[in-house]
Amino acid sequence: MKNSILQAEAGARPRWMIVDDNPDILTLVRDIVAHFNDVDVECFNSPQAALAAFESEPESFEFVITDLEMPEMNGLELSRRLRAFAPSLKILLSTGSEIISDEEAAEKGFCGLLRKPFPFAALQRALEPATLKYSEKFPGLNDGLRLVRAS
């Protein structure tokens, strides 16, 4: 099992997960993310496969982008299960529907909501929380942590 502290010391790149049942969207988002960020990206077209990969190495993933509506498990349930292993995990919710608002996504613990179809600039802005890191406890926030810019 990889140790995230050893990865950081060794200069390893951050590892992100993208989950979407649409292979075209999965490829597009992966390519954009890889172009704008120096990260290793793992893509999953099944929330079950993503959950299995995460369960085997929860400390190795720093950021997740998940679709909302997928067969057998939606993005809300996937997020709940991922956070059972890593409560402070940053997760961006992506959807082509209007069934959830930005405010509802934030209340459910997502660091952002990306509406499909999206322009490149919207994806770039939505990825901004991934460049943040958690700092000391800060009262008043849902997770008790304060986000600060990574150096």
Residue 113, amino acid:
L
pLDDT digits (tens, 9 = 90+) for 2-12: 333 334 444 57
Residue 66 CA to residue 79 CA, distance in Å, equals 8
The predicted structure's pLDDT at residue 140: 40
pLDDT digits (tens, 9 = 90+) for 65-116: 999 999 999 999 999 999 999 999 999 999 999 999 999 999 999 999 999 8
Spell out where 2-67 has E strands.
15-19, 40-44, 63-67
- pLDDT over 90 (residue 43): yes
Q: Which range is least confidently modeled, 43-47, 112-116, 122-126, 138-142?
A: 138-142
What pLDDT band is residue 35 in, cutting at 50, 70 and 90?
confident
Q: Which residue has the higher pLDDT, 80 or 151?
A: 80
Q: Which residue has the higher pLDDT, 149 or 58?
A: 58
User: How many domains are contained in the chain?
Assistant: 1
Report the CATH number at residue 61: 3.40.50.2300
Domain of 116, in residue numbers: 4-149
Q: How far apart are the first and last CA of the chain?
A: 27
What pLDDT band is residue 141 in, cutting at 50, 70 and 90?
very low
